Chain A
């Protein structure tokens, strides 16, 4: 696959906390999970101790559809962290999840495919041994495992 060389990257991984661990455990299984507020019925990303909308602590974990749209993106030629130079150019973007929240993620699309508003779907990619969220065109159901 085109992105298999990402598996050899030695880049800073996520600074997980006990609270966010369910997110990363789900990602390791190829799934996108986040918090849901039982009080105000909002989806919450990134994971928090309290709901940012109503300050309730009635947060539960749930799996999201993985359906999303590109809000914006950039193709990076000169990375902020030098370890990423091995895979330039690569693309990151802000993704609007169908359930509401936005998140940043890698975009596994060709440069000519990139477009704001484009529907994309969740997958995971192996970044130096860490399974990380990524998004691609919905037809591509391949998951790195």
Chain B
């Protein structure tokens, strides 16, 4: 294991919901930020860095200043991270880099979205709008359906293999009371019986869009030792952006997470087999399949065999998305990618009440944006592996 790059000292998460009535993104960001601040046990005045996501339809420009003003912050480093579902993990290493560069010492990373009925869409003028949307291929479903189709054709993977991914996500969601599918387990047969949305994707292989917000506070390793709260540590990160439109993707059965994960493992001097938790971005079942294969935990085309020979719950042989993943938790838009960070932090701090992995040491977190386009991978470690003693700072 390599020297830790930063510490995650606080997380905050709103319980997702299907619709909101007049909520503002800013208001939801504020609520999640307060939760993270309280979780970290620090003062608002300690925050001197801010990373936010884009706010389509609400604040097209000047987003960091707008959020900072709303929260009463005057950050020494502020920026937008715009990597789709990889934005959350992308914030974590950027926060560490900004701290390392001496620009700030404690960074609030926050994402959120409402689901009001009157949500506006921004007008677009770009190649996707000109050369994809006019063919009736707008939205992510058409894209990930084509990725699943390519995988099934190349490897003869089966619908049943993909359905097991949802079955496990829903299984794990039964142990997280925030999850939108808490109380609603389903099995592989239910997935296969659910309506086809874009062949070969069934409804239950697709995340449910929800409103929500997630906040994470990152600080220096040194500063984390002065705070009376357990931390999780950033050990390595990787990032890769390869294209925007699916038609321009260099590969349809392997993605930019492959080099991103390799970089994160190299930086942290770990391998996928060291991980106590796989917290893998799962907008669709195919995304989990591709990420497992790209991680090297199983050969290309063999994710189905891997899932059948493992148990993926918190008490299983290979805990995967113990919060339910977005397939079980719901996808609060860009904040969905941050749920994978928040869950990894809970597991590594041993605060995953009711679903705690025993002695969790390392977690792999992945984020994926757009059409298998934008990838971020993080390796996080527990206090016990970083500091050599369990429960430091408690």
A→B interface (CB under 8 Å): 11-17, 20, 46, 71-81, 84, 87, 89-90, 92-95, 102-106, 115-117, 127, 130, 132
Chain B residue nearest to A106 in the complex (CB): B135
Further pairs besides A15-B130, A80-B142, A81-B133: 15, Cβ < 8 Å: A12-B134, A14-B130, A15-B126, A20-B130, A46-B130, A72-B146, A76-B137, A77-B199, A89-B199, A90-B136, A92-B142, A93-B146, A95-B247, A104-B131, A116-B150
B101 at the A interface (CB under 8 A): no
A20 vs B129: C-alpha distance when bound (angstroms):
13
- The answer on a CB contact under 8 Å between B153 and A13 is no
Size bin of chain B's contact surface: 35 or more
- Which residues of the partner chain B approach A71 to less than 8 Å between Cβ atoms? 150, 252
- The answer on a CB contact under 8 Å between B127 and A80 is no
Pick from B140, B153, B200, B247: contact of A116, CB under 8 Å: B153
B392 at the A interface (CB under 8 A): no
Q: Shortest CB–CB separation between residue B386 and chain A, in angstroms?
A: 42
- Which residues of the partner chain A approach B138 to less than 8 Å between Cβ atoms? 12, 79-81
A92 vs B154: C-alpha distance when bound (angstroms):
19
B→A interface (CB under 8 Å): 124-127, 129-142, 145-147, 149-150, 153-154, 195-201, 245-248, 252
- The answer on a CB contact under 8 Å between A81 and B139 is yes
- The answer on a CB contact under 8 Å between A116 and B149 is yes
| With A77-B196, A90-B136: A104-B150 Cβ-Cβ less than 8 Å | no
- The answer on a CB contact under 8 Å between A76 and B149 is no
- Which residues of the partner chain A approach B142 to less than 8 Å between Cβ atoms? 74, 76, 80, 92
Q: Shortest CB–CB separation between residue B193 and chain A, in angstroms?
A: 15
A5 vs B194: C-alpha distance when bound (angstroms):
29
- The answer on a CB contact under 8 Å between B136 and A75 is no
- The answer on a CB contact under 8 Å between A72 and B150 is yes
- The answer on a CB contact under 8 Å between A15 and B146 is no
Q: Shortest CB–CB separation between residue B251 and chain A, in angstroms?
A: 11
